Structure 1
Amino acid sequence: MKLNEAIELGKTGRWQDAQVRVSPDNSNQWFVMLRDSHYKYFVLSDNDDRPIATEEMNRLADLIRSIGLKEFTVFL
């Protein structure tokens, strides 16, 4: 799910929750999965459709807030 699209859908209340998980490619990085109201999961990606993965949890927290969610679950 592209970031701009996720933000727009977040304004309509589409997202039920977000999960932050360890990247399968790099155990030092994290990525975000979003779950919509139909229980379908999406990986949050940039606007070039590349998954957003970072070592900085605070950056992901800011992204999650930008799509309209105030909480997320972290999976180790």
Structure 2
Amino acid sequence: MSEAELRVKHLEELLEAERAGREDLKQALQARVDDLQTTILDLRKRLDQAEEEKMRLLPPPNDGERETRSRPRGLWARLTGG
């Protein structure tokens, strides 16, 4: 084999090693993304459960509170006290 052919062969081996390393990195990153997505889903579920628990533990609002909660006061009403 000539020196040029040996060099080409060596460069092809290096290229293949780089490709394999990149594929390993890609798989590791995808695994991390999957883990993070699982964590996000778990945290959302816990937040929903906490909100449900909070609502369950709060006393039921009377009619005046219910109206206030369902219809927040506008800016003008808050500024004028009306």
The normalised TM-score by structure 2 is 0.18
Which structure has more helix as a fraction of its residues?
2
Structure with bigger RCO (C-alpha 8 Å, 6+ apart): 1
Which structure has more strand as a fraction of its residues?
1
The normalised TM-score by structure 1 is 0.19
Give 1 or 2 for the bigger CA radius of gyration.
Answer: 2
